[in-house]
Structure 1
């Protein structure tokens, strides 16, 4: 497919990187680099040491560098200073006193000296600024075009809650938006009225531009940013919580435990208001508060309430999905913390704005076909409940919260127009921030999948994948497979020319920049990028969005500004600049990095050893490499997968699986971008890990206790009278995919009381019972004896021994980690075995010979994407991968490269190696 990046005009300036935006020959000795936008105007100018421009010389620099005319002026709208010591002054362009929409220009200075400037500029001539159409006539045309049944200003209470009022209209000069993504031969603007139209049925909000001469609709810039374009039929149900006083700031602020739907039990901040606790946190900025829309299409001040501030699964994991509100609240808190701690930003607007979330919003009542969506409406977060199977679960997962609030950050920074390439990057940045927030707050989740917690559609792992965009129908290359042609008229029906699809390109750029990747992209470019870690990639991405991009930026602009961001942060020629450039090249945007003349790689690191290995960590150390230029660091590989980077000669590998074989190696890299050969590998096997579980018990068994438990081969009559009994020495085998019955018999000493029950199993063996599905059975309080229930071990459960907890509590369903007044808790052990006829690790060949499999190992196990098979006896073998039913899923020939298992779903699989009449079968777990 032909690439649609702007044509490149060569420059006479010799740089340490190449770029793909328009450039011009630079004759001004004060200028190092001048990049031109599609209309031929400078989009980025950097200044040399010979420049004498000061930050106060803005009028002079605008006239000399942009050719600002007498009928034009710039007005300063914002000044910010970052932690690197740069001051950024943003200006708005006016023509004859009328604002030119999106035409912002920013001057970047350090210690009073101007170092760069960038933005959108339009050299306008013969512009008419007197409208033929009245404001009212234009507004009437806007209403006819919108065609809604109802508008927010017609419901004053909701309008006030959103800080919104009926639009009065603003006269502006609008650049020719239809020409974005094409070569503009001249500057072209049209006088227009701008209206912020908020319709509530059907729901929409955006800035609508009406031509002030003809009444034509020129452009719609959507304010409501949805999570995605997926839709599925479904109906909403009702749920109403008590409405209470919202005057809370004088009341008690406390921490609470919250059993979230997607992230286990987490600590949140709440407020005691009257006699109940509500989801209001006033410790972060101007507040974080979560409300209940109660299955309406409105924004009431209805709070979720709790009497004792212990927000348990028993109370909130209900058919209304109220525990989703706990995810929304915790996700908003973690989003605030991420922006504050990592980027020094005080909420989405940088000034502490209150983050408000509304859960149980009824999109069907707002004119949508279903509730499978979440969105930022320009003021607040709004979450639908989803439709469940075939659609999404309630859309309050952490990366969804981070994504939607990320749209608000974009509004207050680059303000990327919601169409074509700028809109695709708007969506991509939200995915990037969702991934970064999830990585920081919940590192065990799938960082590079978007919306995996809410996904309930068959055949989908998530809504989007940043590591493999193609797997969910997005392009990983500019102009490649799944790319949407942006030369179209943006409407909601075509997703504003593919903003949710083409975002995959910037998503994949960020993934490659973070962890590294090698391969060949869709336009035939072979690449090899060394990752710089997600932390550094996030700093570059934030600077790109917050400092350099402007409303109508394209992918070409993003590349140029991304490289400049890396230079600002890490220095010209640094590994970070090299990686940023090559990551853009990997996704088809611009050329690869052109470095110095040094092409000699560092020497290979030697004496790699591992020490202090535990069940989840090992310490690596090695002898330093040498080089013609400075060695800037080392990349650590687990098999062929980049595990991390270090600037010293040691690295601690974390997140390993107990009793699993691993192989590690190290490569050195230098300032010129050269990478050494790989060190000799070191092989380790992690130790078993001792897991410590939370405590839970009844304070008194004088009146009631557990008398007998029957589960599988466990048939234990207990005479113990302690509030907690440890029977983990008693175990039974339970099979994946098979239904199991548990029977509990209570014992009363005299009076028969109502007893409730719960059974918990640590399926993933991580030392808690808080993951999804680990509360396997509950029974409400009754006097029935005995009580029985059934559950099925899921195919994703980790094989081997783990703990089962059985709890009986007077009059209320117990949780896994509580101490209660009356009743008892007992722990047992179960051994989870695979539900398959394929059970042998070592299989005889068809001619009866037994293969020695001691020379063949596979790692890591469990595996995420790449399964390494040690060579030796296995080299040259054909292989096939089978599921637990014996069905063949993949075949191939074993080479030096790992086996790609990224497209397998989570579960148990077998890899069969065949060579010379011999056969070896190895079992592995796909996470």
Structure 2
């Protein structure tokens, strides 16, 4: 985890359809794609058929593509070939002869032709190369900063087992690690001494960088990688390893493991006993017994007949956990060898050593609920059982920890912020892959499910549902840890074990597929490509393209390139890789010229919270064969706005006006869905704002249910005020309605008082005569009922209905009281009785011809003539009795263009006469 964000900073200069936004035209016609890192330097360049670069042209390439200065140089540090026919040559940057830490660049060639290049590069200006402190002075600062009681160099035997020596300090240039991931104007570096500090009490190991001028501790890159952040007698037949002095034979054996049943393992006959040493894989796999000490002795687990049974090893010491550790290390080696062609974690046959029964408490930890890779060996705690973990030797734990070693020898992702989160994520990925291959009946997508003993937890982490264990499944989404911090052990180096959920979920989606809406509102639909193909892409991403300080944005760029290398541009695998990153909130969806499938139509469009000028629209998300990228909101046939989520607030509306809205979905290829259902909205009178009223506590009583007209709402909300104005009922002038309120008590039944208010004149208060429409004195009755008659003078249209329940008193309309609850609803006042489709005359003495309306049917305008217009008003009412328009008559026609097609009634009122006529809107 290495960036600062939650914004993702990545720039691409030239982009393919699968990739990123183009920001400038690249003048070098040999380049098909160039991605820039946060400091503006190229992080990935791919070349096209016009390029004549050869893999051997590295000096020319670095000069031309990176503008390498005379005082800078690259030295080759590694060259590897893969199964796809690529050769990968990694180079280290030096400034004035001093190594620039993390600044590696790799050239990728095929058949001698340079295909691409990627890495970290820094344009360094005026760097001072003379230290003010000696290496010894800097070392003293490093020890003081660490503040441990004991160090590994104090125990020569353990240090030799780890092949560790007291550090002398290496002079390097260190990039600005504090601001990794934010846009930097300069490539600032600090001259520093680098020390590999291994403390044994309290336990820690990492590279500590001390400023060679000021002595300040600049950065700590943890080497010990734990399974999780703060994861919550003598063993059988423990003997010293005398294998080097004994005649040895490698044989197969049955082992009754603790977590995976009886499995075949390789052991070695040493003298008269068999030990957990496999000499058939690489440089060997050996499992030792730390015997509940915080040391690394050469003490073996032994068996007399090479039949490692449960009767012997399933004991109170949990010795059968050592069999899991041994078998897990063997299966991990086999996975890397068979699937990825890798010879142990370093690709050079390194021996895999595991130490079981390590005492973390003696090493300064609060409990034994952890396992870790310490930079040299695997180390397993015994766990604490109930409330924590069982012995931590499960297969996916072994795969996870050895995966950290693989990362060290490939991307070497710095253990902080985004790069550290991906370091943890890749280890979870490899644990899942190894478990899937060796034990497919286990929970592939759960991490540590075998060892989990905490109540309420299925596992330590879930790759299929990271949120279930407190991890984010979306970049910057729920549970995301802000990485704009100074990394320390106490903040888990800015959340490396938390934010790893994003990469975990990407891999899960890429493997099995998924559709849905992520935390930032992006709607996605990813077709899985199988765990085997996803693993090949992930391994190429980690081993070929990522560098120490890579971000999630870099991972997206390189992940797509990895899929292209393996499966070809425009392939289903490239599409899935791109869209899986989109699904977890990293980058855009795939854009391909061949996609002609539109998204499904949005459904269940609804409006709520309508005011005089705004309304809130919500709908059900659409689905697409690739990904939904947004929604267009229409007011009638006019595009009103766009949304990336399934809600939109319409603004700029006119009071007391009818509107119709619909929504269409669109995808990255420009395909547009059919329209959603339409929703009709009539805005309220202008400037209507209601006073606040609430109960301060609903712990003992609240409103359980309200029934009025067609409102029939059972409320489970526990807030003192609940806004249910999206729920409404028609109520006709002059008509009586029953209201029923059901109280809800937690335990004791209390006396409650009630009041109901309706804003009949729609002026934004309940203080006018008659607007307190019903009250009920305090009682324990349930439910309570009353009758409300809508007055003939009530203004037509939508208004507010407020229901209040107060402990031991009758509430007022704008009161905040101690106990109880207030709920607001909407009520649509309609004209009395059904609206006739014949001409209506309210005043029998009035001659209807005194008012003339034309044209009828009307399209955009309706004219009214005769009977002196001065002082006359009009109202327009639809067939549901809803007022959809009003105003003052003038010589100008009435604008009816916004009305839906249908039959309406216009009421014309001169003050003395009121005439109602019908008209038709085309």
Q: Secondary structure at the match of 1:94?
A: strand
Partner of 1:506: 503
Counterpart of 2:229?
A: 229
Paired residues of 1:23 and 1:35 also in contact (CA < 8 A): no
Aligned to 1:16: 17
Aligned residue in 1 for 2:63: 63
Does the CA-based 8 Å contact 2:12-2:36 persist in structure 1? Answer: no
- Output the CA distance in 2 between the equivalents of 1:94 and 1:269: 45
Shift of 1:173: 0.1
Distance 1:225 1:567 in 2: 32
CA 532–298 in structure 1, closer or farther in 2 if over 3 Å, else same? same
Displacement of 1:185 in angstroms is: 1.4
User: Does residue 1:181 correspond to 2:185, yes or no?
Assistant: no
Name the counterpart of 1:290: 287
- Alignment match, 1:652: none
Give the aligned partner of residue 494 of structure 1.
491
The CA deviation at 1:26 is 1.2
Equivalent position of 2:442 in the other structure: 445
| Aligned counterparts of 1:342 and 1:533: Cα–Cα separation in 2 | 14
| 1:303 to 1:284, Cα distance in 2 relative to 1, 3 A | same
2: CA distance, partners of 1:519 / 1:55: 44
Alignment partner, residue 846 of structure 2: none
CA deviation profile, 1:885-924 (whole Å, cap 9, x unmatched): xxxxxxxxxxxxxxxxxxxxxxxxxxxxxxxxxxxxxxxx
CA distance in 1, matches of 2:326, 2:175: 40
1:105-116 correspondence to structure 2 within 5 Å: 105-116=105-116
Match of 2:374 in 1: 377
Task: Give the Cα separation in 2 of the matches to 1:45 and 1:363.
Answer: 46
Give the Cα separation in 2 of the matches to 1:592 and 1:248.
61
Name the SS for the 1:325 alignment partner.
Answer: helix
**By how many angstroms is 1:8 displaced?**
5.4
Tell me, in whole angstroms, the C-alpha distance in 1 between the residues paired with 2:125 and 2:477: 38
Q: Is contact 1:239–1:295 with CA below 8 Å preserved after alignment?
A: no
2:301 aligns with one of 287, 300, 304:
304
- 1:502-651 → structure 2 map (5 Å cutoff): 502-599=499-596
- The match for 2:772 is none
Q: How far apart are residue 243 of structure 1 and its match? A: 1.9
Q: Which residue of 2 aligns with 1:457?
A: 454
Counterpart position of 2:161: 161
Following superposition, the deviation at residue 14 of structure 1 comes to 5.0
Q: For residues 239 and 209 of structure 2, what CA distance do their matches in structure 1 show? A: 41
- 1:691 matched residue in structure 2: none
Q: 1:137 to 1:321 in 2, by over 3 A?
A: same
Question: Whole-Å Cα distance in 2 between the matches of residues 597 and 533 of structure 1?
Answer: 23
Give the direction of change, closer, same or farther, for the CA distance of 1:445–1:181 in structure 2 (3 Å limit).
Answer: same
State yes or no: 1:263 paired with 2:260: yes
Post-superposition offset of 1:180: 1.1
Cα distance, 1:10–1:111 mapped onto 2, change above 3 Å: closer
- SS of the aligned residue for 2:405 comes to helix
Is the Cα–Cα contact under 8 Å of residues 23 and 36 in structure 1 kept in the other structure?
no
**Distance in 2 separating the partners of 1:149 and 1:217:** 19
- SS at the partner of 1:332? helix
TM-superposed CA distance for 1:16, in Å, is 2.6
2-structure distance, mates of 1:372, 1:427: 17
Question: What is the CA–CA distance in structure 2 between the aligned matches of 1:231 and 1:537, rounded to whole Å?
Answer: 28
- Residues 231 and 338 from structure 1, CA distance in 2 versus in 1: closer, same or farther, beyond 3 angstroms? closer
Task: Please list, as runs of the form range in 1=range in 2, the aligned pairs for 1:351-500 lying within 5 A after superposition.
Answer: 351-500=348-497
2:34 corresponds to which residue?
A: 34
Residues 240 and 294 of structure 1 are in contact (CA less than 8 Å); yes or no, is this contact kept in structure 2?
A: no
Secondary structure of 2:74's counterpart equals strand
Q: How does 1:755-904 map to 2 (within 5 A)?
A: none
Per the TM alignment, residue 461 of structure 1 is displaced from its structure 2 partner at its CA by 0.2
Task: Indicate whether 1:330 and 2:327 are aligned.
Answer: yes
| 1:194–1:208 Cα contact (<8 Å) kept | yes
Residue deviations 1:865-896 (CA, integer Å, cap 9, x gap): xxxxxxxxxxxxxxxxxxxxxxxxxxxxxxxx
Q: Distance in 1 between matches of 2:96 and 2:421?
A: 33
Q: Which residue is 1:213 aligned to?
A: 213
Is 1:96 paired with 2:96?
A: yes
2:9 touches 2:553 (CA, 8 Å); kept in 1?
A: no
Q: Secondary structure at the match of 1:479?
A: coil
**Deviations, residues 359-384 of structure 1 (Å, cap 9, x unaligned):** 00000011111000000000000000
Change (3 A) 1:338 1:25: same
**Structure 1 residues 118, 80: CA separation in 2 closer, same or farther (over 3 Å shift)?**
same
The answer to whether the 8 Å contact 1:23/1:34 transfers is no
What SS does the aligned partner of 2:457 have?
coil
Q: Distance in 2 between matches of 1:146 and 1:524?
A: 44
Q: TM-score, normalised by structure 1?
A: 0.63
Q: Is the 8 A contact 1:335 1:437 kept in 2?
A: yes
Which deviations, in whole Å up to 9, do the C-alpha atoms of 1:607-632 show, x marking residues without a partner? xxxxxxxxxxxxxxxxxxxxxxxx9x
Alignment match, 1:648: none
CA contact (8 A) 2:253 2:308 kept: yes
Distance 1:24 1:383 in 2: 52
Q: Report deviation, 1:10.
A: 6.1
8 Å contact from structure 1 (residues 575, 673) kept in 2:
no
CA distance in 1, matches of 2:23, 2:263: 51
Tell me which residue corresponds to 1:6. Answer: 8
Whether 1:350 aligns to 2:347 is yes
Q: Distance in 2 between matches of 1:378 and 1:24?
A: 43
Work out the CA distance in 2 between the residues paired with 1:540 and 1:249.
Answer: 45
Deviation at 1:503, TM superposition (A): 0.2
Partners of 2:18 and 2:6 lie apart in 1 by 21
In 1, Cα distance between the equivalents of 2:400 and 2:311? 29
Q: CA deviation at 1:156?
A: 0.5
Q: Are the equivalent residues in 2 in contact too, given 1:6–1:38 (CA < 8 A)?
A: no
1:130 paired with 2:130, answer yes
Deviation string, structure 1 residues 99-127 (Cα, Å, up to 9, x no partner): 00000000000000001000000011111
Equivalent residues in 2 for 1:133-152 (5 A)?
133-152=133-152
**TM-score relative to the length of structure 2:** 0.64
- The secondary structure found in structure 1 opposite 2:582 is helix
1:666-691 CA distance string (max 9 Å, x none): xxxxxx999xxxxxxxxxxxxxxxxx
Gap runs ≥5 in structure 2: 599-624, 626-668, 672-922
Kindly tell me: are residues 248 and 529 of structure 1, through their superposed partners in 2, closer, same or farther at Cα, counting changes over 3 Å? farther
Question: What is residue 681 of structure 2 aligned with on the other side?
Answer: none
Name the counterpart of 2:826. Answer: none
Aligned to 2:43: 43
Q: 1:514 to 1:468 in 2, by over 3 A?
A: same
Alpha carbons of 1:239 and 1:252: their partners in 2 closer, same or farther (altered >3 Å)?
closer
Aligned mates of 1:355, 1:19 — CA distance in 2: 41
By how many angstroms is 1:184 displaced?
1.2
Structure label with greater radius of gyration: 2
The equivalences for 1:697-736 within 5 A come to: none
- Any gaps of 5 or more consecutive residues in structure 1? 602-630, 632-671, 675-927
User: Is this contact kept in 1: 2:74–2:94, CA < 8 A?
Assistant: yes
SS of 1:247's equivalent in the other structure is helix
- Work out whether residues 224 and 376 of structure 1, in 8 Å CA contact, stay in contact via their aligned partners in 2: yes
Aligned residues: 601
1:381-439: CA deviation from partner (whole Å, max 9, x where unpaired)? 00000000000000000000000000000000000000000000000000000000000
| CA displacement 1:839-868 (0-9 Å, x = unmatched) | xxxxxxxxxxxxxxxxxxxxxxxxxxxxxx
Contact 1:34–1:45, Cα closer than 8 Å, also in 2: yes
User: Over aligned residue pairs, what C-alpha RMSD do you find?
Assistant: 2.0
- C-alpha displacement at 1:493, in angstroms? 0.2
Q: Does the 8 A contact of 1:19 with 1:559 survive in 2?
A: no
> How far apart are the structure 2 equivalents of 1:398 and 1:242?
25
Q: CA deviation at 1:4?
A: 2.4
